[in-house]
Amino acid sequence: MFPPDFAWGAATSAFQIEGGWQADGKGPSIWDTFCHEKGNVFGDQTGDVACNSYELWEKDLECIQQLGLTHYRLSVSWARLLPDGMTQHVNQRGVQYYNRVINDLLACNVSPMVTLYHFDLPQALHDLGGWKSPEIATLFDNYAKFCFQTFGDRVKFWITINEPHICAKLGYEDGIHAPGLKEKGTTAYLVGHNMLRAHAKAWHSYNSEYRAKQKGAVSLAFNSDWFEPLDPSCSADITATEREFAFTLGWFAWPVFVTGDYPETMRFAINSQSQKLGFDGTSRLPTFSDDDPFILGTADFFALNYYTARKVKAGGGVDQTLSMKSDLDAKEVLDPSWPICGAPWLAVVPHGLRKLLRYIKDTFHNPMVYITENGFSQMGPVQIEDWERWEFYSSTISEVAKAIQEDGVNVRGYFAWSLMDNFEWADGFSVRFGLFHVDPSDAELSRTMYRSGREYARIISKYKTSGQAK
């Protein structure tokens, strides 16, 4: 049913669970700044305490064991390890914390997958220009090398950057994630460019300095919805769907897996819109230069975060100012037959994952794939008997099985988002993605298993190790 040694995991990220925002010498990140500013996050909630995993790591480990996970995906906080972002000043207490997490996981036979950057840039680096500055690639590379050097004897799966598309678009175009900039139609492309340069530098460092000894794998995590034309017989909707893929998944996966450069569709759309609006100057989508690291081939596996699907209709998105939306010139539509879970953007479309996996196989040269995030959110009253979420997981996992068996996609692992309810960015704690419930107003912050957690544990114990149903 599943390949033997299939990775059965769950994922979290540092800012969303750790808290301890100033503990033991940690520096502030752009998310600390962003959520301390009123009006940015639901109910002005913050990540100051979150699930307090900085102090309650043992409780997380118990959850991981109760689920029987083979793998756990976490992120390390750059500003906890290097408070001002630079390697000159190392916070040893931060190093100790992650050493303990990693060692405890290994002692319980759980393999860590570590993300270096999950939205939480050290504020000190943002103040120097952050992702907008070309220097960030070298600073990120230094940080990555520090992590490979410090933890790489034990960590065999690395994700450099989580969802560069979401980071760039929500943080620098829409302004709803930190650092809250709305510099439309320009900065997100620049930020994405520097993220690719930073990622590629770190991959090359691993490849030449650490791989032989540490024998791990390095990638970056792409997010993509499954897109299909609203009217499959309308050629404008079909090309709009191609643009959607190009502007989300292709933006980052095409350079890394196919050509070393952005999809032609994307550059063409951006440049023709610039022309139409009389924007002079060079392309808003930067070009890679000979001084840049080679981008092509800088991923050892394909890491995919999948949540939902969209139908795509041509046009409609165009306005007369520069923006990513006008460049894209497409409108996303929800199919009324798709149920919505919790958050309004989250249509439940498990079969979209199978289709997307097939698309990835065909477009990106049949890579080894890890689904590094997939989940279902709950809002409103807490439902511990969350049978809808359970149904979602069980049908999604069966779509993954079909992708493997019937479509021949090389899927090697699946990580549920998330191990526990946590700080869901601009939605604060109002949107719950956990397999364990955490109530942020409970002084103990106890973790309570949802029904879906129990069912996920059953699936895992059924398929773990042999891949065959027991």
In the list 40, 160, 194, 223, the residue contacting ligand PNW (rule: CB under 6 A) is 223
Provide the minimum distance between the beta carbon of 229 and ligand PNW in the complex, in angstroms, as a whole number. Answer: 21
Which of 14/95 has CB closer to ligand PNW?
Answer: 14
Provide the minimum distance between the beta carbon of 434 and ligand PNW in the complex, in angstroms, as a whole number. Answer: 10
Segment near ligand PNW (CB under 6 A); pick from 102-110, 161-169, 238-246, 287-295: 161-169
In the list 100, 109, 138, 345, the residue contacting ligand PNW (rule: CB under 6 A) is 345
Provide the minimum distance between the beta carbon of 119 and ligand PNW in the complex, in angstroms, as a whole number. Answer: 7
Asked if residue 83 lies in contact with residue 26, where contact means CB atoms within 8 angstroms, the answer is yes
In the list 158, 226, 417, 429, the residue contacting ligand PNW (rule: CB under 6 A) is 417
Phi-psi region of 5 (alpha: psi -120 to 50; beta: other; left: phi over 0): left
**Amino acid at site 399:** E
In the list 242, 424, 428, 434, the residue contacting ligand PNW (rule: CB under 6 A) is 424
Provide the minimum distance between the beta carbon of 373 and ligand PNW in the complex, in angstroms, as a whole number. Answer: 6
Catalytic member of 373, 399, 424, 455? 373
Contact partners, residue 385, CB within 8 Å, separation at least 6: 450, 451
Provide the minimum distance between the beta carbon of 291 and ligand PNW in the complex, in angstroms, as a whole number. Answer: 31
Active site residue 264: no
Question: In angstroms, rounded to a whole number, what is the distance separating the alpha carbons of residues 252 and 259?
Answer: 11
Which of 95/195 has CB closer to ligand PNW?
Answer: 195
Which of 145/243 has CB closer to ligand PNW?
Answer: 243
Which of 13/70 has CB closer to ligand PNW?
Answer: 13
In the list 10, 13, 40, 447, the residue contacting ligand PNW (rule: CB under 6 A) is 13
**Tokens 């979401």 belong to residue:** 166
163 binds ligand PNW (CB under 6 A): yes
Segment near ligand PNW (CB under 6 A); pick from 18-26, 126-134, 160-168, 211-219: 160-168
In the list 166, 400, 419, 459, the residue contacting ligand PNW (rule: CB under 6 A) is 166
Segment near ligand PNW (CB under 6 A); pick from 55-63, 158-166, 208-216, 310-318: 158-166
305 binds ligand PNW (CB under 6 A): yes
How many residues sit in the footprint of ligand PNW (CB under 6 A)?
13
Q: Hey, which residues between 387 and 406 contact ligand PNW (CB under 6 A)?
A: none
Which of 145/165 has CB closer to ligand PNW?
Answer: 165
SS (H, E, C) the chain: CCCCCCEEEEECCHHHHCCCCCHHHCCCEHHHHHHHCCCCCHHHCCCCCCCCHHHHHHHHHHHHHHHCCCEEEEECCHHHHCCCCCCCCCCHHHHHHHHHHHHHHHHCCCEEEEEEECCCCEHHHHHCCHHHCCCHHHHHHHHHHHHHHHHCCCCCEEEEEECHHHHHHHHHCCCCCCCCCCCCCCHHHHHHHHHHHHHHHHHHHHHHHHHHHHCCEEEEEEECCEEEECCCCCHHHHHHHHHHHHHHHHHHHHHHHHHCCCCHHHHHHHHHHHHHCCCCCCCCCCCCCCCCCCCCCCCCCEEEECCCEEEEEECCCCCCCCCHHHHHCEEEECCCCCCECCCCCCECCHHHHHHHHHHHHHHCCCCCEEEEECCCCECCCCCCCCHHHHHHHHHHHHHHHHHHHCCCCCEEEEEEECCECCCCHHHCCCCECCCEEECCCCCCCCEEECHHHHHHHHHHHHHCCCCCCC
Segment near ligand PNW (CB under 6 A); pick from 159-167, 286-294, 322-330, 462-470: 159-167
**Amino acid at site 270:** I
371 binds ligand PNW (CB under 6 A): no
373 binds ligand PNW (CB under 6 A): yes
Provide the minimum distance between the beta carbon of 288 and ligand PNW in the complex, in angstroms, as a whole number. Answer: 26
Which of 115/298 has CB closer to ligand PNW?
Answer: 115
Which of 16/91 has CB closer to ligand PNW?
Answer: 16
Which of 345/387 has CB closer to ligand PNW?
Answer: 345
Active site residues: 373
Q: Which residues form the interface with ligand PNW (CB under 6 A)?
A: 13, 16, 162-163, 166, 223, 305, 345, 373, 417, 424-425, 433
